[in-house]
């Protein structure tokens, strides 16, 4: 009996990476329902319970998707690591023997056509190289410009004469990327002494050894960066299949209903939405400064507030204590403050939303593009400063929130930018044009559908 063909997906542990990989699996199944999708799960080093409900829901709705949970491993640095990234990389490396056993087990029942891995899971290439012959692809969950910067990272490492990128004061020239300050590069490559710097350099070199790279972007959004990768950097197996976004996410249904009901009563394109992702935390001082700026602006707003880092052990924020005295009462007729979570995609697609103050996570950027909502770029961590340069200077779908050298943003700056994003016409028109381009990319004759078809054909039996 002929074995069923299967694809293995290997995301890194954070739930955002898992969700993106699951969405990719769903997309593949939509084009080839006969495939079996197998997702290997490395136990996350924190909050393991946060994925259980989500995985159960996916398994019920998509029986062709099977999850394989690996045993928990204990890395040497579990008590000394200074970053989640370093801990995740160690856990992935230590999980290699378990991945090998899982791949071997799957291969006994299924015909493995390909494996798709997260950038953080590069260590698994050593596992595959020895005993398996299927091709390995990357799924790069940020944009093409960011990918171009990672391709160029080994060159920067060699040409900066031992300097840290954060200390390079001339603009960097990277193919496909607007001129960028060294300090705007992704956080973990700014300092050579960072505990994951060497790993990122090594992984960037390994990109060239993959069978291809799938990117969550589309040609019209990042045409120059995609061309730079294929023509200047000479890596042609690029598959821009986006925008791939999650239509619904698990959260507080009561919060969702209250947000959307409130928006129903607001004029069209009048509300500024402020939301900074699950890890986007501000000090209490910064929260008060945002509140002052919003109040002075006179703009309508919907603001998601999370506890400051020092209060993360509390279940939900005490808004009266965190925000200026009387703020909620004074702004209650034109603003809504939500605790911890809001349904971002439905909110962005509501006709009342006129602007989005975002931390510049790539998924959030794509969600705003698909909704046609102009952005105020306020990056906080990871590659978000890099993304700000791309969406402000290159794609021109956002305006920049300017911070001090310490990262603090004044109330005057908040006031200025929330007004500007609602009133500024060119950025709005540019964003609407990109929304239309995103829709065109996803039709059967669109660029992203062509890329997806080429990807599936690349691992078909005729090509091997």
Residues 158 and 14 in one domain: yes
Give the model confidence (pLDDT) of 63-79 as tens digits.
Answer: 999 999 999 988 765 54
Where do we find the tokens 């378990």? 98
Q: How far apart are CA 6 and CA 64, in angstroms?
A: 10
Residues 134 and 166 in one domain: yes
> DSSP characters for 57-107?
HHHHH-TTEEEEEPPP---TTTTT-S-HHHHHHHHHHHTHHHHHHHHHHHH
Residues 168 and 222 in one domain: yes
Give the model confidence (pLDDT) of 325-362 as tens digits.
Answer: 999 999 999 999 999 999 999 999 999 999 999 999 99
Band of the pLDDT at 43, cuts 50, 70, 90?
confident
At 80 the pLDDT is: 52
Count other Cβ atoms within 10 Å, centred on residue 118.
24
CATH classification of the domain holding 231: 3.40.50.2000
Residues 109 and 237 in one domain: yes
Q: Checking DSSP bridges between strand 212-215 and strand 300-305, what pairing results, if any?
A: unpaired
Query: CB burial class (10 A; 0-12, 13-18, 19+) of residue 146?
Result: buried
Tell me: pLDDT of 302 over 80: yes
Tell me: pLDDT of 253 over 80: no
Q: Is the peptide bond before 147 cis (omega within 30 degrees of 0)?
A: no
Residues 364 and 448 in one domain: no
Select from 413, 405, 307 the least CA-distant residue to 357.
413
Task: Please compute the mean of the pLDDT values over residues 309-335 and round it to a whole number.
Answer: 93
> DSSP characters for 318-332?
-HHHHSPTTHHHHHT
Residues 260 and 355 in one domain: yes
Give the model confidence (pLDDT) of 89-148 as tens digits.
Answer: 999 999 999 999 999 999 999 999 999 999 999 999 999 988 899 999 999 999 999 999
Query: CB burial class (10 A; 0-12, 13-18, 19+) of residue 426?
Result: exposed
Task: Please compute the mean of the pLDDT values over residues 18-35 and round it to a whole number.
Answer: 96
| Beta bridge partners of residue 383, listed in sequence order | none
Tell me: pLDDT of 304 over 60: yes
Residues 177 and 308 in one domain: no
Task: Please compute the mean of the pLDDT values over residues 295-309 and round it to a whole number.
Answer: 97
Residues 218 and 367 in one domain: no
At 217 the pLDDT is: 99
- Percent of the chain exceeding pLDDT 90 equals 84
* Total number of domains in the chain: 2
> Which residues have C-beta within 8 Å of that of residue 312, sequence separation ≥ 6?
281
Range of the domain at 168: 4-246+443-463
At 464 the pLDDT is: 41
Residues 237 and 307 in one domain: no
Q: How far apart are CA 290 and CA 303, in angstroms?
A: 10
Query: CB burial class (10 A; 0-12, 13-18, 19+) of residue 334?
Result: middle
Count other Cβ atoms within 10 Å, centred on residue 281.
18
Q: How far apart are CA 12 and CA 256, in angstroms?
A: 28
Count other Cβ atoms within 10 Å, centred on residue 179.
11
Residues 176 and 285 in one domain: no
Select from 68, 54, 63 the least CA-distant residue to 17.
54
Residues 315 and 204 in one domain: no
Residues 402 and 455 in one domain: no
Mean pLDDT of the chain, nearest integer = 94
CB half-sphere exposure, 248, CA atoms < 13 A: 8
Structural tokens at position 452: 């997806």
């Amino acid at each position: 009996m002929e074995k069923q063909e299967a694809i293995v997906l290997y995301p890194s542990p954070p739930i955002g990476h898992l969700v993106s990989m699951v969405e990719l699996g769903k997309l593949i199944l939509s084009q080839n329902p006969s495939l079996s999708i197998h997702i290997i799960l490395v136990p996350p080093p924190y909050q393991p319970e946060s994925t259980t409900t989500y995985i159960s829901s996916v398994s019920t709705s998509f029986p062709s998707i099977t999850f394989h949970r690996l045993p928990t491993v204990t890395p040497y640095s579990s008590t000394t690591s200074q970053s989640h990234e370093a801990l995740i990389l160690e856990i992935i490396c230590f999980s290699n023997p378990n991945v090998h056993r899982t791949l071997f087990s799957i291969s006994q029942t299924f015909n493995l056509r390909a494996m798709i891995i997260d950038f953080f899971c590069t260590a698994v290439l050593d596992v595959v190289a020895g005993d398996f012959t299927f091709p390995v692809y990357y799924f790069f969950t940020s944009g093409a410009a960011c990918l171009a910067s990672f391709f160029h990272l080994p060159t920067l490492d060699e040409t900066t004469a031992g300097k840290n990128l954060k200390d390079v004061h001339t603009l960097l020239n990277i193919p496909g990327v607007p001129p960028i300050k060294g300090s705007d590069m992704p956080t973990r490559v700014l300092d050579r002494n960072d505990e994951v710097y060497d790993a990122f350099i090594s992984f960037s070199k390994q990109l060239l050894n993959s069978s291809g790279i799938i990117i969550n972007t589309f040609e019209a959004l990042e045409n120059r960066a995609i061309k730079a990768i294929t023509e200047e950097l000479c890596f042609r197996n690029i598959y821009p299949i986006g925008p791939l976004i999650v239509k619904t996410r698990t959260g507080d249904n009561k919060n969702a209903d209250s947000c959307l009901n409130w928006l129903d009563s607001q004029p069209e394109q009048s509300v500024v939405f402020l939301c900074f992702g699950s890890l986007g935390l501000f000090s209490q001082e910064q929260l008060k400064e945002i509140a002052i700026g919003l109040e002075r602006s006179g703009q309508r707003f919907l603001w998601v507030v999370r506890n400051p880092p020092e209060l993360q052990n509390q279940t939900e924020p005490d808004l009266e204590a965190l925000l200026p005295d009387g703020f909620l009462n004074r702004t209650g007729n034109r603003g809504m403050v939500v605790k911890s979570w809001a349904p971002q995609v439905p909110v962005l697609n509501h006709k009342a939303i006129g602007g989005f103050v975002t931390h510049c996570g790539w998924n959030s950027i794509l969600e705003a593009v698909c909704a046609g909502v102009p952005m105020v770029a306020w990056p906080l961590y990871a590659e978000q400063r890099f993304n700000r340069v791309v969406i402000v200077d290159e794609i021109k779908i956002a305006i920049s929130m300017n911070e001090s050298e310490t990262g603090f943003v004044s109330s005057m700056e908040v006031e200025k930018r929330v007004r500007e994003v609602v009133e500024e016409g060119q950025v709005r028109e540019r964003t609407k044009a990109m929304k239309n381009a995103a829709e065109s990319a996803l039709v059967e004759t669109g660029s992203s559908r062509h890329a997806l078809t080429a990807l599936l054909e690349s691992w078909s039996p005729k090509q091997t």
